[in-house]
Structure 1
Amino acid sequence: AEGYFSDYTPQFDDLKQIYVLGMTLDRLIEKVADAEKYNEGRENRMLYDKALEGLRTWNKDPNFYSGYAKNYVFKLVKKGSADDPRVVYIKDASSLISGCQELLEERVEGFAGKAAGDEATKRIKEAQKLIGKFLAESGVEGEGADKIAAYVKAH
């Protein structure tokens, strides 16, 4: 595959946004995990509402991270970056995250309260695993590799 790979050396800073996304999903899980407690106090409602607010913002540009991943992979390979499995991981993770808004707004039949929170948590954890696969296959060595290894191990 001559001419397929570029001369680019993978850098943590070039994929840091995806790493940060994965890390922030831990906080999203905390906010949605106890969905059945929504009516059990102001603090629970605030957490849940913040989660929904974040998801609504996410869904204004749900392809941002997929594009970011594609641009990163494009630096690694000269052809086929859009179809690269690493980009697909982030596309799939983004779809999982996007779908959580409908769940938490109880617009998905069969999911309300605790069931909606549990399903959202499951989807977010799956998204984190996909982000971990992207990071693990990113080719980053040296600076930032320790953060990637820790993230992959944790998720």
Structure 2
Amino acid sequence: MSGKQTISLADSSATYHLGQRLGQLLSPGWIILLEGDLGAGKTTLVQGLGAGLEIPENIESPTFTLINEYHSGRVPLYHLDLYRLEPSEVEPLNIELYWEGIEVPAGITAIEWAERLPYQPADFIQIRLKHQDDGSRLAEIIYPESLPLIL
């Protein structure tokens, strides 16, 4: 079973604060799958996540590097961006090593353009960001029952 919340985000600041709240709530091992059109706020949400994890560095989209690692906060953050990849190109990257915590310290893994994953992890939080006609965003959050998410 899973839970679902829909949150209206008035502007990019609200998107940032949603990420910040998640960063304050989550512990190592969580995976956040982010979906949404270009400019929907995926990177802004991850920047807020970094703030909630007390990461002092600027969080930037890893569109060209694919993965940015941040180890200076209270929990490591692994930020992946699959925008440039096809699902068949993702599998050989073995990105599950990030959420399994085998070759890197356990942290939180945030994946932009997660719809390009050829498989899904066992437990994850899915956030779909959608543009609204008035310029705001809608965040649809689906999460496992094991996470009593209150935002």
TM-score by length of 1: 0.26
Higher Cα Rg: structure 1 or 2? Answer: 1
Give the number of the structure whose residues are more often strand, by fraction: 2
TM-score by length of 2: 0.26
Give the number of the structure whose residues are more often helix, by fraction: 1
